[in-house]
Structure 1
Amino acid sequence: METQLTVRDQVSLFALMLVARPITNRELLDLAGLKITAEVRRRANRDVELISTTKRGSTYTHKLTAEGRNWCESALVAGRPDEAKFPAGALYAVLDSIGQYLVRADLKFDEFFQADLENWIRAIYAELTVRRTPGSWVKLSALRPWLEHVPRDVVDAELDRMIEQPDVHLMANLNRFRLEDEDRQAAVEIGGEMRHVLMIGAS
C-alpha cells in the first residue's frame, strides 16, 4: 500500500488522523492547506478503503475508516519515506516522534487522536451558514445529523457548556406553530427550557 500512495496522499491521511472526525474540504484547506481530491481517494481506496466520503446535500465530508486509522498507526513508526524531502521530511520526523511516544506510553491510537467536539460544532455551523448572512440562526435539527455518531448526551453537554461563551447563543423557537417534529426531537434542554436554534459568532 505504501508504494501506491504519494507523499501528498499520506499527508492527507495524516491530516484526517489529526482531526479524528468527518471534515469538509473547506475546513481541511483552512487547517492543513490541502483537499481530499478524487485522485487522493482513488489511490487511498485502491486495495482497501482508507478514506470514507459522505455527501450531505451538496457538501462532502471525509474521514478515516478503521483501516485508514490502522494505516496511520503503522505509518507513525515506519519512519520517513525515501521520497519525502523537505518540508515533508520534517513532518515525518515529528510524526515518528509521536508514534514512538505512543509506543513507550502504551497509549492507544484513538486515545491520543480525539476529535475536539466544540471545534466540530463550530465547523458544522460555519458550513451550514456559509451562504447565509453572518450570525444566522441554525436549527439544531440541521446540526444533529452531522454528529449522528456522537452520543446525544455528549452533544447536549457540550452545547450546555458552549452557551457560557459570549459568542454562542441557543434559544427556543418562540413560534410553536412552526415547530416540526424533527425540531422538537432535536431540541436541547438548558435551564429548564427547550432550545431549538443555534447562533455562533455574535457576542
Structure 2
Amino acid sequence: MASDLTSAEYAYLIILRAEGREISNSEMAEIYGVRLKSPDYAKLNADGYIISRTKPSPYRHSITDKGVKALLEPLTLEQGRVPEGEKRSAKERELYWAAILAQQKLFQRSASGVDRPEPTDLPGRVRAAYGKLAGAPGDWVKLVDLRVLLADVSKSALDKALEGMLGSPDVRMEPETFGHRVSVHERNAAVHIGGEDRHKLAIGQR
C-alpha cells in the first residue's frame, strides 16, 4: 500500500518507474544526483516494491509490479508533511527534485506517445516471481511453478531470459535429480541448456 511508504521511498519508486529497467546506483547518481541506499533500499525490498542486486557492486535496482501499482494509489497531504519543528534536509530536497525530474520524464514519454517496455525487465520479473515462490534466498523452485506466475511471457522469451540470467553469480538452474519423478508439465516447462533439461531454479547465496 502506498500509505506504507515514506515520501523518500515514494520518490525512489518514481525514479525507478521512470527508468523502467534495472539501474545501478552509479547511473542513478549520474542521471538524478541520488543513490538508493540503506535503510530505504532494504525496506523497499522487504516490502516487495523493488528488487535489488547488491553483488557485485554497485547496487542495482528495479521496480516490481507491486511497486508500479503503489504509484497508482492515491496519496494524501498528511503522508508528506514534515513534523512540526523539523525541516527537510538538503539531501531530502535533492531527492525530491530528482523525483520531479523522473516524473517529467514520464510526462514527456506519455505526451510523445512513445511506447515503452514494461516497468520491469524480464530478469527483474523472474526475480520477483522467484521471491514469491521461494521460502528463502537460495531455495530451489520448480520452473513449472515459475511459468504460472509469468503466464503472459512466451516460453521462448522466458527461456532466453533464464539462460541469460545464468551469467549472474547468484543464479543456478539444474535438472531434477530424480528424473523418473519429472511430470509431463515439468518436462514441458524445462529449459534446455548445455545439452540437458533444467527443471529448477535457485537465486541468492545460501
TM-score bucket (shorter structure): 0.5 to 0.7
User: What are the residue-to-residue correspondences of 1:40-79 with 2, within 5 Å?
Assistant: 62=66, 64=68, 68=72
Whether 1:138 aligns to 2:141 is yes
Give the 3-state SS of the residue equivalent to 1:94 in structure 2. helix
CA distance in 1, matches of 2:104, 2:14: 20
Whether 1:192 and 2:204 are equivalent positions in the alignment is: no
Seen in structure 2, the aligned counterparts of structure 1 residues 18 and 112 have a Cα distance that, compared at 3 Å, is: farther
What is the rounded CA distance, in whole Å, between the counterparts of 2:47 and 2:169 in structure 1? Answer: 32
Match runs of 1:14-93 below 5 Å: 15=13, 18=16, 30=42, 32=44, 35=47, 62=66, 64=68, 68=72, 85=82, 86=88, 91-93=95-97
Query: Is 2:179 the counterpart of 1:179?
Result: no
Matched, 1:100 2:100: no
Question: How many equivalent pairs are there?
Answer: 157
SS at match of 1:120: helix
Aligned residues of 2:11 and 2:99 also touching (Cα < 8 A): no
RMSD, aligned α-carbons = 4.5
Question: CA offsets per residue over residues 116-141 of structure 1, 9 Å max, x none?
Answer: 3323323433443325xx63322111
Alpha-carbon deviations, 1:104-126, whole Å to 9, x = none?
A: 57766862763033233234334
Q: Which residue of 1 aligns with 2:172?
A: 169
Report which structure shows greater RCO (CA 8 Å, sep ≥6): 2
Counterpart Cα distance in 2 of 1:103 and 1:16: 12
TM-score (norm. length: structure 2) = 0.52
TM-superposed CA distance for 1:201, in Å, is: 3.3
Structure 1 outlier segments of 4+, above 6 Å: none
Within the candidate set 118, 126, 130, 2:123 is matched to 118
Contact 1:172–1:196 at 8 Å: present in 2 too? yes
- Could you tell me the TM-score, scaled by structure 1's length? 0.53
- SS of residue paired to 1:98: helix
Structure 1 residues 31 and 116: alpha-carbon distance in aligned structure 2, compared to 1, 3 A threshold: farther
Letter in 2 for 1:18: L
Looking at structure 2, the residues matched to 194 and 124 of structure 1 have their Cα atoms a distance apart, in angstroms, of 21
Q: Deviations over 1:123-163 (max 9, x none)?
A: 433443325xx633221112122222233222111111112
Classify 1:8/1:169 alpha carbon distance in 2 versus 1 (closer, same or farther; 3 Å).
Answer: closer
Inter-partner Cα distance in structure 2 for 1:174 and 1:35? 34
Mean alpha-carbon deviation: is it higher for 135-144 or for 117-126? 117-126
Give the % identical residues: 27
Contact 1:168–1:200 (8 Å) recurs in 2: yes
